[in-house]
Structure 1
Amino acid sequence: MTTTHPSARPAPAPSPWRQPLPVWATAFAAVVAFMGIGLVDPILPSIADGLAATPAQVSLLFTSYFLVTALAMLITGAVSSRIGGKATLLTGLALVVVFAALSGTSETVTALVGFRAGWGLGNALFIATALAVIVGAASGGTAAAIVLYEAALGVGIASGPLVGALLGDWHWRAPFFGTAALMAAGFLLIALLLRAPAKPARPTRLGDPLRALAHGGLATTAATALFYNFAFFTVLAFTPFVLGMGAYGIGAVFFAWGVCVALSSVVAAPRLQRRIGTVPLLHTALALLLLAQAAIAVSVAADTPPALIAAVIATGVPIGLCNTAFTEAAMEVSDAPRPVASAGYNFVRWIGGAAAPFVATTLGAALTPWAPYLLGAACCLAAATVLAARRRHLGALARA
């Protein structure tokens, strides 16, 4: 009988939690950046009441934010390669501080939508660069860095609705000022702790992210993520209007949802990727999200609040799985530099996030409140179809 020498055993996966202090500072700022996505969720009805706006008008808070984020992704690489990663992070944080504070001063929904657009520009500069900085500075390799980044995303998305509910119960303006204060703290931490990463030998050209999308694998990943993001942000942006709850109730539901996002992205996704591979994991998660969206539609149509709450919270599991799998796929599927691949991928996928809130609220008002979730389920099916039809381009993601 042959025995395996102990030295032949596979080394344990590196821990994503043993990181230098500058990486943790960047991760903290990323938590706050992602907190801004769900921050307005519990206060959407309050904002609509306070500014005499319709749900469709209020949904533009998401649309302007994500549309500018998507477009700005095309310039993040060119900016960071010229002024450096640290300066880009600080510029993005400074813009978020300014526009989050201005959002709290808005007297009309038009002004608030405009300030959220400026906030989206700052967020794009920060998010795209933060991932590259964390991957470059973290110990344990790309996989460990992505887990840390997704942990920041999960914690931010989970805490955003809770912070929004707690501060929004006082006044709908308070969450915006709170975010500005937290981002200012992130600005100081990065300014003091992060050493400026070396600039690339060749500056990124403005067209590089679009050129990177010529790669079949990255184009497939981005197109699939576009449909997925539409389904994701249909849940996030439209659901507050069908829950029929106050700020605390909406905040509690989306806090539980965010905990599911965080746990599935950080704990479940890496294990499932090692066991079944990235592409099968994406197919599984998209199928689960499709079923959850259908369950939400049925619950809304039947007017069964407990079932609706359970179905909304349950969507956090496949969303967390997708977030981690898509991020790693975008980083690894092509030979483009990671910042360039991230910019091209995020440009496409955030278009889905920009379209979903306005389309969902408009569709819900014109037809029926459960119609947006059927569209979200159809988008999950479309994403899975693209993934299956173009699987030949995803060989780099095959499990070893």
Structure 2
Amino acid sequence: MEPTSGKTNMLSQPKAVWAVAFACVIAFMGIGLVDPILPAIAEKMDASQSQVTLLFTSYNLVMAVAMLVTGAISTRLGVKNTLLCGIIIIAIFAALGGWSGSIWELVGLRGGWGLGNALFVATALSAIVSLSTAGTAQAIILYEAAIGIGISVGPLLGGELGSLSWRGPFFGVSVLMVLAFLFLMVMMPRTKQVIKKKSSLLDPFRALKYRGLLTLGLTALLYNFGFFTLLAYSPFVMHLKERGLGYVFLGWGLLLAVTSVFVAPRLEKRFGTIKSMIAMLILFAATLLAMGIWTDVKGVVIGAVIIAGAFLGNNNTLITTAVMQSAPVERSTASAAYSFLRFLGGAAAPWLAGKLAEVFNPHVPFIVGGCFVLLSVWFIWINRKHLMHIDRAESAH
């Protein structure tokens, strides 16, 4: 981590950083826009819950694989061009999704959406960290803040548009992406890059030889089973209309944003990254298990979804900060390797949640998700010696 001087802080950033951060807000609004309409899609397209949750599976699976090539693409196209390509791909596939006539067509188009998001997300994180003048930790907090704002505002807008038609949020995403494209085109300067060598497709796999990075990637794979169980399946058990689901996930996203910016840095400073991460994951697992026990109590499920945002906001900032320091490789390479493993978990979890509910009952997906999160805690604990250098580096600064 780069040392920061007393004159720099998270708000003292170059124009390029703010341009990317604003584009991140709009890009992540696109994810939340779709969440409140999942039950409506199931009803209108006569699809099962496991089929509708495939909208997250195809999205995350394509994104996981695409993460492996983001480094190779960005070193050839440049950061700005890669970001713009990702945004325009999202805009196109979101618009096509709004015209879908079947659930399988929509699932396929969501995969194309995932390709665009992979190009944007991986490049945006490395761009903000590289261009920031306030140090790695402050840059990551800014990135997580942009994600939190986008995720929190997205469901509110999605609920409003979804109350008119389930197709509305898809067209809304497309319009927002066009706005992000224009903003980034105008506001972000074309920085001159000095590239010593072009990134290889094998670089993310080579980076996983470092046990610290591999540990964090597999930890994220496991806890994302819980994350995407909550995100993709909980709308089916709350029994709310689109607008109501929008407000619930607005509360979830607001807590995620606030904790990622204001609470996570204090936890890291007071207790260290690894201990804080373990505590947040245990609390998140307990929340999922509570949802599994009291699935039929609407108030418990709604409250649990909202409070889970606090635990996930803290954990997202903590684990992203740790990833950037886990291995002596380029930040973009570390991000690609970590994201590949993380989104593999995000691809399997939504379909598994829907299928478990169909085969057993609505309680089981949350209990299984909570068990996976507890498994991630155990995995961190048995591999903690490979992560000790992260806390030592933070203590030194």
TM-score range, shorter chain: over 0.9
Match of 2:57 in 1: 63
Is contact 1:289–1:380 with CA below 8 Å preserved after alignment? yes
Conserved 8 A contact 1:59-1:361: yes
Q: Which residue of 1 aligns with 2:227?
A: 232
Unaligned runs of 5+ in 2: none
Which residue of the partner structure matches residue 119 of structure 1?
A: 113
The one of 88, 94, 99 equivalent to 1:100 is 94
| Deviation at residue 395 of structure 1 after TM alignment | 2.4
Change (3 A) 1:13 1:151: farther
Quick one: distance in 2 between partners of 1:313 and 1:299? 15
1:24 alignment counterpart: 18
Residue in 1 aligned with 2:389?
Answer: 396
1:368 aligned onto 2:361: yes
Aligned partner of 2:146 in structure 1 is: 152
Aligned to 1:3: none
Aligned residues: 389
Between the aligned partners of 1:205 and 1:11, the Cα distance in structure 2 is 35
Q: What is the SS of the residue equivalent to 1:219?
A: helix
Q: Report Cα offsets for 1:109-129 as digits up to 9, x if no partner.
A: 111111110010000000000
Distance in 1, matches of 2:160 and 2:58, equals 25
Deviates more, 1:101-110 or 1:190-199: 190-199
- Show structure 1 runs of 4+ deviating over 3 A: 10-14
Match of 2:258 in 1: 263
Whole-angstrom distance in 1 between the partners of 2:109 and 2:297: 37
The amino acid of 1:278's aligned partner reads T
Question: 1 CA distance for matches of 2:248 and 2:371?
Answer: 24
CA distance in 2, matches of 1:223, 1:324: 17
1:22 aligned partner, one-letter code = A
Cα separation, 1, equivalents of 2:325 and 2:182: 32
Give distance in 2, aligned partners of 1:11 and 1:138: 13
Partner of 1:190: 184
Looking at structure 2, the residues matched to 285 and 199 of structure 1 have their Cα atoms a distance apart, in angstroms, of 39
Q: Does 1:320 align with 2:313?
A: yes
Alignment equivalent of 1:36, drawn from 11, 30, 36: 30
- Contact 1:85 1:199 (8 Å CA) reproduced: no
Q: C-alpha distance in 2, partners of 1:319/1:286?
A: 8
Q: Does 1:215 align with 2:177?
A: no
Q: Percent sequence identity over matched residues? A: 47
TM-score under structure 1 length normalisation: 0.95
Q: Structure 1 residues 193-202 or 359-368, which shifts more?
A: 193-202
Q: How does 1:40-55 map onto structure 2 within 5 Å?
A: 40-55=34-49
Counterpart for residue 353 of structure 1: 346
2:130 corresponds to: 136
2: CA distance between counterparts of 1:58 and 1:271? 39
Distance in 2, matches of 1:200 and 1:375, equals: 45
* TM superposition shift of 1:11: 6.2
Q: 2:323 aligns to what?
A: 330
Note the 1:54-93 alignment, pairs <5 A. Answer: 54-93=48-87
User: How far apart are residue 191 of structure 1 and its match?
Assistant: 1.2
Q: CA, structure 1 residues 354+13, in 2 after alignment: closer, same or farther (shift >3 Å)? A: farther
1:377 aligns with 2:370: yes
TM-score (norm 2): 0.96
The farther-off stretch of 16-25 and 354-363 is 16-25
Q: Distance in 2 between matches of 1:305 and 1:132?
A: 40
Asked if 1:287 is matched to 2:282, the reply is yes
